[in-house]
Every structure is written in C-alpha cells, then in structure tokens.
Structure 1
Amino acid sequence: MEAGEEFGPWLARQLKIAGKTQAELAEELGLTRAAVSAWITKRSVPRATVMGEIAKALGTDLSTVHTRTTDTQAGLPVTWYHRPGYLDGGRDGGNAAAFAFDADVQVLARETCQNSLDERLVENGRPVRVRYTIHELTGEALEAFRAAILWDRLQPHYLAVSESAADQKVGRVVDAGVRDMFEKGRLILLRVDDYNASGLTGDDYDDGKFAAVVRRQLESLKSGRAAGGSYGLGKATLWATSALGMVLINSTLSVPHEGRTERRVIGRLELPWRVVDGQAWAGPAWLGRPDPETPNAEVVRSWWADEETVERLHLTRESDEPGTSFLIVGAHDVASLAPEKPDAADDENGGDDDGTRDITAMHHRLVEALGRDFWAAMTGGGSKLPLLETSVRTLRNGEVVIPEEKVDPAEAQPSRTRALRAFYEGTTVDRLTQAGQVALRNVPLRLPLTGGRRGTLGTHQGVLLVTEAEEKDAAKSEVHSLRGNRMTIKKSTVHGLPLGVTAFQAVLLLGHAAGESAPFADDAEEFLRAAEPPEHDRWGQTEELTLRWSHSAHHRIAALTAEVNSAVKELVVRPKSAGSQENAKLRKKLTVQRKTTAAPKRAAGSTLPELDGLEARIGAGGEWQITAEVKLPRAEELPAMTPVVLLDVRSGSRPRLDWAELVAVDGCEVEDGVLRFTPRARRAVFRGFTDATSHPVRTELTRLVLELRAGTGE
C-alpha cells in the first residue's frame, strides 16, 4: 500500500481546499486553536478518537484521513482554468512550439519514445516499457467521456475558436476536430504510457519535470550527455497530434511529492486567443483543482485523483510502476487522411468502416515507426540489455479491435538487429566472406576544441557494422547512425557505389553506443547532441554547434561521413559482370527514356552513348536518388551528354527537375552538369540527386523519366 503524506502538511492543504481556518476547525472539534496548530506544524498528531471528528469536519471518510493518499473531495472542485488575455493586448494564435512538428503519429512515436528513453530508471537495469493505445469512443462511451472532461464548460471556448477559424491555422484544425466528433459521432483517444520511468516529479510551479512539461515551453531538464532531447520541443508533439488541442496526464512518481506517488493528474488545453462572453483569453487552459494560495483561488494545480476519476478519464495505469500516461484527446494523423479504396469488408458493411480504417492505419504506422527508429534500443545481446520495449493496441469502446502487438526489432530490422547483436556478442569479422557475417570497422570522429580554438580535443573511435541485407529489409543499402540512447538519428546512403553491388545494411555506433570504454565517448555525445536539429534526424551545422565550437565544426561530421563511406565501399564492393543476375533484375524493374523519333543521319559507325540501366529511389529529404549506367559505343571521341530528369505526365510537357548534385562514379567526369566520357571506356556510371525544392508535387506521387541528351541538354 502506498505510504501516505505526513498528517500536518496534508491537513493544512485540506483546510485550504475546504476554505476553513485553523480556528474554525478547532471550534468544530471543541479544541483549542493551539492544538490544531501543533498538528499542522508536525509537533503532534491527533488521537485516534479525534480522527473521526476531523473526517466529519472535512466532509470525508475516516479511511481518507488515516491513509492520506488523496485529497478530500470537499471544498474547491476540479475545474478548468483559462489563462486571461494579456493586459498589453498581445495575442497568441496557438503554441508556436507545436508548429515545429506535423500532426503525424510517426513523429509522435519518435518524440515520445525518445523522452521515455531519457527518463528511464537505470538503477534496476530494466528497459523502459512504452505502450500506445488507440481507443475510439462512440455512443454512450463518448458521452460519458465528454462529461468527465467537463465539456459543457469548454464548449463556449471551442465555439469562439470556430467563429474565428478562418483567421487562425490552429483554429481551423480545432474547428475540424470538433465537427468530426459531432458529425461522425466518434472521438479517437491515443494514450502513451511508459513504465520504469521517472514520472513527472517536482512541484507544480517550481523547477522540476512536472513544471517543465505542464507549465513551460522550450525547457528541457534532460540529464546526462546521452539524452536524446535538448530543445524542450518534443512534448509539443502531444498537443500537435490532438485535433482538440487537449492532453490529459496521469503520473506515478519515482520520488514522492506531498508524501504520495500515485495518480497525480492534470490536463492542459492549447487553444488560440479568443473572446468568450466579452472576456479575452490568452490561449492555454488547465484542468485541475483550484489552488487556494493563488489570487481568488483561480489558478488550478494537479490533484491526487481517486481510482474512479482516472477510470472515467481513461487514465487508469496497469500497475504502480513509476512513469506517466499522456492521453491525446481527438488524435489525428495527417498522413492517414489520404483516401483509400474500400476493401471487401467495407463493401459488405455498407462502407461504414471509415473509423476502423483510420484507427487501423494509425496502429500500423505506429508499429512501423517504432521498428524503424528504435530497433537498436530494443535490441540486446551478450551482456547488453535492451533499453526499450514497445507495443501498440487498438480498442473501440473498450473492446479489442487489434490485440496488443509487441514490436520485435528482429522482425522490423532483421539485418541491422543481427549486426548489433554480433557486436554485443563479440562475433564480428574483419571482412565479409559468407552470408550472415557481420564485419566491423572503426571509423574516427576527430573532436574539435570548444570556443573556436584550433586543434583537436581527441579522436573518438566509432564502430561501423556492415552485413548483407535480407529480403525482409525495407530500405536496403543504408547506414543507420545512432549514439547513446540508441535511437536512429541519421539514415544515409553511400555515394559512389557501382551498379550491381550486393545489397547491404550498415550501422554506425557513436558515443556511448560504441561502448562505455570507447575513448572520448562523453565528448562525442555532447558534440553530436549539439549537432542535432529539433527533429533529431541528422547531424550538421546548428546554432549551438557554432556558438560552443565554431562555424566550421560541422566539417568534422562531414569528414566522419567520408570515412564511413570509404569503409563501406571497401567491405561491400565486388565487381560484377554486365550480364549478372542482379542487373537483369534491375532492368526488369526500371526503364529508361529512349527517343523513338528518327534521329538525324550520322556518319557510319558514329553513335551516341545510350542509357542502359537505372536505379532510382526517394531519399529522406524527398529527393530522387538516381544511379544510371551508360553504354558507350566504340569510338575514339565521344560527344558530351547531359542527363535530364523529368516528371512523367499524362499530357503536356514534362516538368524538368533541377539537380542538387551530379557525380561521376566510373568511366566519366562531370563538368557543369555535363557528362564527358573516358576514351575507349565501354561503360560509364553516374549518380544524381534532384533538388527537392524544384519538385512541383510531392515526390511519392510522381513517376520519374531520365533522358540523356547531346550537348547542353536543351
């Protein structure tokens, strides 16, 4: 049973909640004020016979007074507090931090899992467990939940936001969320629970994890150089994913606050500036118990809820293990909004399965994101234990739609998981000679001195693991880079690989991920963390890197990338014949543009270079990544050719895309975007990357055409 709070502080707070003074309580009990004062100052405690009288005076039961694990229900009730409009006339159109991220459940998974990893309780050596629950409410269940969140008191504020929705981006999202709830008669809740985490410890207002998450913006209290977050922006994804701007929180603390640890509850609402009944409101609001110590007891604070309350709010946790539950009210996923063709089940049910399709799409996208970004954190081997366990389940009105699905890293990333386990178990090799082996190379990260000083602090030896890809791997021939918390930070391809190279997967471990005994591991963690943007999806130039190191510090990362690419090439490049099986498969999948119109007559024996092989994929930045092979005719001199990349369209001229980068791989040189071929070479290979900003539409919705034109390509 949870240990209760000391009697004195507990009684003092109950008197404030009930609006009673010490003198009034003493009079009701027939005692002196000095006796009550002695209880509150912890100089004495009341006799057992007096406890019952105190319970009556506070309007509660004797058990509550004895255990003191929750507040009495007398006095100030739980309600919503809306921040008044600014006296200087300032207005906020929403929480700016939320605009740093899209309303995307995959972004949510990345940010929330990273935060849970950073808050893992490391003393017991166990992983932090994160569970995502998608729960659709309809009918009576929806009505009961609306009553629990005091919807009637919120509705005027939502109406005010809807009236001004045309002028505010946040207002348009909220208006659509409210209309979806009432027109479709449903509400999607998305709950994120973590266990074996620290919980929201600290005071409601003073410095601490609770205030950093619930009260403040752009504040990160992450401890340790291996922590993933550093901007204080990740929590904003919770509110960005809510079409109603509402998140409810229930935290079990690892360190007692006010003598308790379980069911610390509060809610936060993010709306734009609005006017309700002639009163201007700034934006955010909080659901909690009014704090008697604030002016007119208007501001609310967290409260210690009973089990019935957390159940009505859909915040019941499965155990008393420390951690926090975040309930996103009105969860929506922009990436799941694209219309899909109804399947046979939809037709049989009259097409009334839009809700099922939405929550099913959310479920699968969450599983995909967790396996893609956190496979390494979920992988153990040898004496190395996993840092993380994740799962996803989907419900409707409490009934199971999709059973809980535990994310298996070996299923999501089979080759990379095998590589990491081989590293942990010490079974790596120096060179790949047969399938299933994992090769290890050390690659140097030369760390600069801080403060703009010239020189090198030291060389951190990163660990590069390379293994042959499996058929089940999604994106092949990529390098996944990560550091201490083992979340995938950077996904990159290796430039300059010839066509037909055996598909591989590579993992780059840096900082503490390379081993606790790796030289300069702490310094590498600090440097790389500073080189990450708020999305934590790459390493490069950032303002913090410039301020703490220098404007050229990012060149050290570029040098590391060059070392990695060189090591990968050394391990995987094996020359293949032009007619190999791999190239045959490639030619079946891809075609190249060949002119069908009659070409001008040329002298006998004079022909042009011709595209003969093409490999294309979409990169992480939305660019086309293209590798092309050119068949060269027998000739002493070959004309210069220009590769031109176009978008295929049904009618009209094809839009031309710009090259961001064009590099020669073999048998040619690139000069101002023009290919010049090596004399007497029979084949040439070049690689190109399009400029994503020149794409008129989203890359995933397009088809690619590559032409090889004589001269400058016009």
Structure 2
Amino acid sequence: METGEDFGPWLARQLKLAGKNQAELADELKLTRAAVSAWITGRSVPRPTMMTEIARALGTDIGTVHTRTTDTQAGLPVTWYHRPGYQDGGRDGGNAAAFAFDADVQVLARETCQNSLDERLTDNGRPVRVRYTIHEITGETLDAFRQAILWDELQPHYEAVSEAAAHQKVGRVVHAGVRDMFEKGRLVLLRVDDYNASGLVGDDYDNGKFAAVVRRQLESLKSDRGAGGSFGLGKATLWATSALGMVLINSTLSVPHEGRTERRVIGRLELPWRSVGDGTYAGPAWLGRPDPDSPGAQVTRSWWADEDIVERLHLTRDSDEPGTSFLIVGAHDVASLDESNADRVVDDENGRDGQEDDGTRDIRSMHRRLVEALERDFWAAMTAGGSRLPLLETSVRTLRNGQVVVEEQQIDPTEAQPARTRALRAFYEGTTVDRLTEPGQVALRTVPLKLPLAGGRRGTHGTHQAVLLVTDAGDKDGVPKQVHSLRGNRMTIKRSTVAGLPLGVNSFQAVLLTGTAAGEAAPFAEEAEEFLRAAEPPEHDRWGQTEELTLRWSHTAHHRIARLTTEVNAAVKELVARPKRSGDEGGAKLRKALTVSPTKKTTSRRAAGPGLPELDGLDASIGPAGEWRITAEVKLPRVDELPVMTPVVLLDVRSGARPRLDWAELVAEEGCEMEDGVLRFTPGARRAVFGGATDVTSHPVRTALTRLVLELRAGQGE
C-alpha cells in the first residue's frame, strides 16, 4: 500500500483545511488537547481504532487517513484564485514572456523536449521519454471537461477579456479560442508527458523547480552547463500555444514533498488585465486548493489529487515514473491551420468534397508537424552507439474523444536522418576515417574553438577541439550540404550551409559536436559549453553576438565563433573536394561539371560603386519545399566604414521587370550580422558569408522552371 506524509504534518494541514483547531478535534474525539498535540508534533501516533474516529471527524474515509497520499475532501474546495489588480493602477496586456514565441507546435516541441532533456534523471542511465498526445474532445466529453475545470467560475473573466479584445492582442486570441470552442463544439487538448525526469520538486513558493515553472517568470534554475535552456522563457511556449491561455499540470516527483510524490496538481491561467464585477485582476490565475496560511485563505496552492480528479482533468499518467504532464487547453497552431486550409483548397480544386472535417485536418496536420520538429531538432539526442545510450525517446499520438485518429508514432532517428545518425554512431563506435574513399564512410576532423578570457581581458583561456563528422548524403536526409551543430544535450542548435564549395562536389551531410558532445576527452569541453550557451538567443537556434556574451566576455567574443565557422567550412571543403586530375580526362570532367542544369543556374549581380561590398560567390539549390536556398560570399573593401547592404532575390526573365521574391529566412554566418533583413559587416573583415531561403508563397511559378538572381543593394534595398 502506498504511504505518504508523516501523520503529524498531514493532520495539521487537514485541520487548517477543515477550519478546525486542535481543541475542537480533541473535543470531538473525547480526548485531551495534549493527546492531539502529541500526534501533530510527532511524539506519538493514534491507535488503529482511533484512526476511524479521526476519519469521521475529518469527513473522509479510513484509507485516506492510513495512506495520507492526498488531502481530505472536507474543508476548502479546489477553486481558481485570480491575482488582484495592481494598487497603483498598472495594467498588463498579457504575459510578455509568451510574446517571445509564436503559437507554433514545432516551437513547442523544441522547447519542451529541451526542458525534459535538462531534467532527465541520470543516475539510472536511461533516456527521458517524452510523449505528445493531441486529443480533440467534443460533445459530452467536452461538457464534462468544462465542468472539471470549473468553467462557470472562469466564464465572467473570459467575457471581460472578450469585451476588451479590440485593444489587446492576447484578448483577440482568447476571444477567438472561446468562440471556436462554442461555435464548433470542439476543443483540442495537447498533453506533453515526460518520464524519467525530475518532476516539479520543491515548495509552492520558495526557490525550487515548482515555483520557477508555476509561480515565476524569467527564472531558470538550471545550473548544468550542458543544459539547453538558460533564460526561463521556454515554459512560456506552453501558454503561448493555448488559445485559452490555460495549462494544467500533474507532476510525479523524484524527491518527496510533504511525504508524497504522486499526483501533485495545479493549473495556471494567463489572461490580460480585466475588470469583473466590482474587482480588477492583474492577469494570471491558479487552480488549486486554498492555502489556509495565506491572507484570508484566498491564494491557491498545488494539491494532492485523487485518481478520479486527474482522470476528469485528462491528466492521468501512464506510470509512477517521475516526471510531469502539461495539458495545454485549447491548443492551436497557426501553421497547421494554414496547411489544413491549403489541403481544403486542393480538394475543392480537384472536385472532392473530402472525407475529413476541418477538425480532423487540423489535428492530423498538428501531428505531422510535431513529428517533423522532433525528427529535425532531436535526432542526435535519440541516437545511440558504442557505449553511448540515447538521451531521449519521443512519440506522438492523436485521439478524438479517446479514440485513435493517428496511431502512436515512435520517432526513429535512423529513418528521419540516416546520414547524420550514421555519422554520430561511427563517432561513438570509433569507426571514423581520415578521408572519404567509399560510400557510407564517416570522416572525422577536429576543429579548434579558441575560448576568450572572461571580463574583457585579451588572450585565450584555452582551445577546445570540436569534432566535425562528414559523410555522404542520401535522398532522405533533407537539405544537402549542411552542417548541424550541437553541444552537450545533443539538440541541434545551428543548421548552416557550407559556402564556396567547388563544382562537382557530391552531396554530403556534416555534424559538428561541441562542448561535452565532443566527448569526455575533449579539452575545455565544460568551458566551451558555457561559452556557446551564452552565445545563444532565447530560441537556442544559432550562435552569435548576445548581451550575455558581451557582459561576461567582450563585445568581440562572437568573433571566436565566426572563426570556428570558417574553420569548419575549410575542413568540410578539404574532406569533400575531389582530387584534381591532369590531362584531357581532367579537362573533360571539369567542362562537364561546369554544365549547369536549368534548375540549378544562378546569377549574382554585384553592387556598383567604389568602396562597396560586392558579391563574390553564390551557391544555390532548390529545397524540399520548393524554396531557393542560397549561400553567398561577399568581398569586403578596405575602407574605414562599411555601409549596410540588403540582399534582394529576383527571378530572371527574358523581358520586363524581374519579379522580386520574399525571404523566408536570412542568416549571417561569417563576418557579418543580419538585422531585419539588412547586412551589417564586421569592421576589419575581408569577407562575409550569409545564407537564406526564399518564401515559396511569393514564387509566381514553379521553382524548377526559374533562374535565380541575387543582388546586393546599398541601404534598405530600395
């Protein structure tokens, strides 16, 4: 039988919840107050026969008193506590942290998996298991869920937010979410469960993981240098993905709190400032048991729920393994909606009425995008080899009212990323080679990262040897000729295309392992982790100049990372370049390599004028979605001040004006920085490299039928 909290502390809390004192309980039990006091202080415990009388006095069953794994249902009921409005009249239009991310399930997958990796229990050597469940509920199931979350208490607050929706971005999203729930009679729940993780340990209010996630903003308690997160922003993606601003939480703890570990439940609601009745409310609200120690017992705290409550809240976990379940109520994904609308247009054009309704399209699209994100960003964390075990296992399933819509899909990195997983396994198993001579081989090079001294001091603290792996690529490996860079938690941080490759290079994939990912023997691995982690923005999707890097090291520290990129590109070129041949055979092969197919032709136009940067090389290919993907090299003049330049991409036509395409992404790689589509060059640099991809929605014709023109224009590009 499961046993929980010590009897004394448990009984003391039950008396507070029931609004009783020790003297009143003693009178009901016909005992002295000293006897009850002895139980509470732990000097003695009641006899088994007295347990029955205590259960009757507390209005609960004898099992609850014996196990003490949950609170009694008597006394203060579970309710919502809404933070009162600020006394100085200040108003918040929503949680600013949530604006750092889009309502995108792929962003959600990246942030939540990263957090689960950081919270993995390492003592047992097993991976953390993360499961995503998309669950659309309708009809009676939806009605029962609304009753479980006490919707009648919340409705006046949602109505107040809807009335002010015209003036608040968050309000407009919430208004649309509530309207869709009632008009369409459906609600999408997206649950993220992790197992073999620490769980939300710690007190409700004091420093700890529970308070950092549930009570506070912009707080990260991750001290491990290899951790993925560092800003305390990732948790905001949970609320950003909810059209209702609501997330419910059920945590199984790795370290007991109040003597228990299972079914620690709380909910948090993120709404803008609102006026309801005679009161004003600042924004957040919490679903929980009123804390008798708070003023007027109004503030709610987590409670130890029974199995029936977690089932009604759709928070039942699969096992008693430590970890946390986050339920995003009213999950929405803008990109999934766009895909569903595009699919519906195709059906209409083809004269098909379609066998799926809009809701099924939405959740299927959401399922597919979650799988794509996990395959793309966490393939390395799921890869094993040699003595290395995977750090992560992931799966996605989709339900409607408890019935399977899409079977649970276990993410297999060897299917999604065959070349890269082959490269990583070869490194783990020690089967790499110095140079590629046969298909399937993996070549290894070490690449130096010179770490600066902290505090703006000149000099090098030490040289970290990052590991570069290169292997040939196949059709299933996505965009070819890319380098995936990662560090200790093995999440892909940076994806970049190698610039200036010679013609005729075979398709390849490369992996750069930095920090502790480079192996235990890698010098200065921990220092490299700390340095590169500081060079990442909140999205953790690149390395470059950041405020933390400037404050802790210097304003030029990011040049060390640019130099690493240069070294990586040079090493890749050396490994994949074909050896030169002499004589007629070599000349014939070179002429053949210079014959470019119509879908690969590219043109670069140089910016005119003295002292201006000019395009010196361009590599372009068509991506899997039909986008143009380019890598451009820029020759920089020796002048005191370099002007800003804007890359402009056009389609080549025989006559008339060239159609201008939009950029889907622009990334600075070396010798420059990208800011709102404008290039700013590093003073003193002699060359710069940037990459980008076009927005396929701006293409007037199919990409394979076009030629690309890239221009580098001074100023804002007009």
Give the TM bin, normalised by the shorter chain: 0.7 to 0.9
1:251 aligns with 2:261: no
Secondary structure at the counterpart of residue 587 of structure 1:
coil
Closer, same or farther in 2 for the Cα pair 1:565/1:540, shift >3 Å?
Answer: same
Closer, same or farther in 2 for the Cα pair 1:136/1:691, shift >3 Å?
Answer: closer
Structure 2: distance between partners of 1:41 and 1:250: 30
| 8 Å contact kept, 2:134–2:399 | yes
Give CA deviations for 1:341-378 in whole Å, capped at 9, x if unaligned. 33769987766511111000010100110010000000
Given residue 13 of structure 1, which amino acid in structure 2 is its aligned partner?
R
| 8 Å contact kept, 1:590–1:614 | no
1:589 aligns with 2:599: yes
Given residue 23 of structure 1, which amino acid in structure 2 is its aligned partner?
A
Instruction: Tell me which residue corresponds to 1:507.
Output: 511
| 8 Å contact kept, 2:478–2:624 | no
1:538 aligns with 2:542: yes
Secondary structure at the counterpart of residue 337 of structure 1:
helix
Give CA deviations for 1:312-352 in whole Å, capped at 9, x if unaligned. 00000000000000000000001112122337699877665
| 8 Å contact kept, 2:652–2:708 | no
Larger of the two Rg values belongs to structure: 1
Instruction: Tell me which residue corresponds to 2:42.
Output: 42
| 8 Å contact kept, 1:623–1:689 | no
1:433 aligns with 2:433: no
Instruction: Tell me which residue corresponds to 1:460.
Output: 464
Structure 2: distance between partners of 1:201 and 1:348: 53
Closer, same or farther in 2 for the Cα pair 1:591/1:521, shift >3 Å?
Answer: closer
Structure 2: distance between partners of 1:233 and 1:708: 37
Q: Deviation at 1:145?
A: 0.6
Instruction: Tell me which residue corresponds to 1:363.
Output: 367
Instruction: Tell me which residue corresponds to 2:302.
Output: 302
Closer, same or farther in 2 for the Cα pair 1:187/1:650, shift >3 Å?
Answer: farther
Instruction: Tell me which residue corresponds to 1:152.
Output: 152
Instruction: Tell me which residue corresponds to 2:279.
Output: 279
Structure 2: distance between partners of 1:644 and 1:215: 46
Q: How does 1:198-597 map to 2 (within 5 A)?
A: 198-338=198-338, 339-342=341-344, 353-574=357-578, 587-590=597-600
Q: Deviation at 1:706?
A: 3.5
Gaps of 5+ in 1: 595-612, 629-642, 664-672, 674-685
Given residue 389 of structure 2, which amino acid in structure 1 is its aligned partner?
L
Closer, same or farther in 2 for the Cα pair 1:401/1:516, shift >3 Å?
Answer: same
Given residue 430 of structure 1, which amino acid in structure 2 is its aligned partner?
D
| 8 Å contact kept, 2:498–2:631 | no
Structure 2: distance between partners of 1:652 and 1:161: 51
Structure 2: distance between partners of 1:331 and 1:564: 40
Give CA deviations for 1:662-707 in whole Å, capped at 9, x if unaligned. 99xxxxxxxxx9xxxxxxxxxxxx9985889xx9xx4553357545
Greater Cα offset, 120-129 or 179-188:
179-188
Closer, same or farther in 2 for the Cα pair 1:296/1:501, shift >3 Å?
Answer: same
Instruction: Tell me which residue corresponds to 2:195.
Output: 195
1:625 aligns with 2:630: yes
Structure 1: distance between partners of 2:256 and 2:56: 27
Instruction: Tell me which residue corresponds to 1:701.
Output: 698
| 8 Å contact kept, 2:245–2:269 | yes
Given residue 374 of structure 2, which amino acid in structure 1 is its aligned partner?
L
Superposition RMSD in Å: 3.3
Give CA deviations for 1:235-275 in whole Å, capped at 9, x if unaligned. 00000000000000000000000000000000000000011
Structure 2: distance between partners of 1:403 and 1:564: 41
Given residue 247 of structure 2, which amino acid in structure 1 is its aligned partner?
V
Give CA deviations for 1:471-529 in whole Å, capped at 9, x if unaligned. 11111110000000000001111111123311110000011000012111111111111
| 8 Å contact kept, 1:618–1:700 | no
Aligned length: 658
| 8 Å contact kept, 2:199–2:322 | yes
Instruction: Tell me which residue corresponds to 1:83.
Output: 83
| 8 Å contact kept, 1:625–1:688 | no
Secondary structure at the counterpart of residue 340 of structure 1:
helix
Structure 1: distance between partners of 2:133 and 2:266: 19
Structure 1: distance between partners of 2:337 and 2:222: 34
Give CA deviations for 1:179-214 in whole Å, capped at 9, x if unaligned. 111111100000000000000000000000000000
| 8 Å contact kept, 2:652–2:709 | no
| 8 Å contact kept, 1:658–1:691 | no
Gaps of 5+ in 2: 581-585, 605-617, 634-646, 670-678, 680-686, 701-705
Secondary structure at the counterpart of residue 456 of structure 2:
coil
Give CA deviations for 1:44-77 in whole Å, capped at 9, x if unaligned. 1111111101000000000100110110000001
Give CA deviations for 1:393-430 in whole Å, capped at 9, x if unaligned. 00000000011100000111110000000000000000
| 8 Å contact kept, 2:487–2:529 | yes
Secondary structure at the counterpart of residue 90 of structure 1:
coil
Give CA deviations for 1:630-666 in whole Å, capped at 9, x if unaligned. xxxxxxxxxxxxx984258999844557999999xxx
Given residue 121 of structure 1, which amino acid in structure 2 is its aligned partner?
L
Greater Cα offset, 346-355 or 394-403:
346-355
Structure 1: distance between partners of 2:620 and 2:68: 68
Structure 1: distance between partners of 2:466 and 2:203: 41
Structure 1: distance between partners of 2:65 and 2:620: 73
Q: What TM-score results when the alignment is normalised by the length of structure 2?
A: 0.86
Q: How does 1:676-687 map to 2 (within 5 A)?
A: none
Secondary structure at the counterpart of residue 248 of structure 1:
strand
Closer, same or farther in 2 for the Cα pair 1:434/1:293, shift >3 Å?
Answer: same
| 8 Å contact kept, 2:239–2:270 | yes
Closer, same or farther in 2 for the Cα pair 1:509/1:261, shift >3 Å?
Answer: same
| 8 Å contact kept, 2:600–2:707 | no
Structure 1: distance between partners of 2:537 and 2:245: 25
Structure 2: distance between partners of 1:468 and 1:700: 31
Instruction: Tell me which residue corresponds to 1:610.
Output: none
Structure 1: distance between partners of 2:13 and 2:543: 49
Given residue 45 of structure 1, which amino acid in structure 2 is its aligned partner?
V
Closer, same or farther in 2 for the Cα pair 1:651/1:221, shift >3 Å?
Answer: farther
Given residue 526 of structure 1, which amino acid in structure 2 is its aligned partner?
E
| 8 Å contact kept, 2:499–2:689 | no
| 8 Å contact kept, 1:499–1:627 | no
Give CA deviations for 1:101-151 in whole Å, capped at 9, x if unaligned. 000000000000000000000000000000000000011111111111011
Given residue 546 of structure 1, which amino acid in structure 2 is its aligned partner?
T
Instruction: Tell me which residue corresponds to 1:60.
Output: 60
Structure 1: distance between partners of 2:691 and 2:318: 50
| 8 Å contact kept, 1:657–1:691 | no
Greater Cα offset, 380-389 or 468-477:
468-477
Given residue 477 of structure 1, which amino acid in structure 2 is its aligned partner?
K
Closer, same or farther in 2 for the Cα pair 1:650/1:188, shift >3 Å?
Answer: farther
Greater Cα offset, 537-546 or 199-208:
537-546
| 8 Å contact kept, 2:190–2:327 | yes
Closer, same or farther in 2 for the Cα pair 1:581/1:420, shift >3 Å?
Answer: farther
Tell me the percent identity.
76
| 8 Å contact kept, 2:479–2:623 | no
Give CA deviations for 1:291-314 in whole Å, capped at 9, x if unaligned. 000011100000000000000000
Q: What TM-score results when the alignment is normalised by the length of structure 1?
A: 0.86
Closer, same or farther in 2 for the Cα pair 1:300/1:614, shift >3 Å?
Answer: closer
| 8 Å contact kept, 1:217–1:232 | yes
Aligned partner of 1:615 among 598, 602, 620 = 620
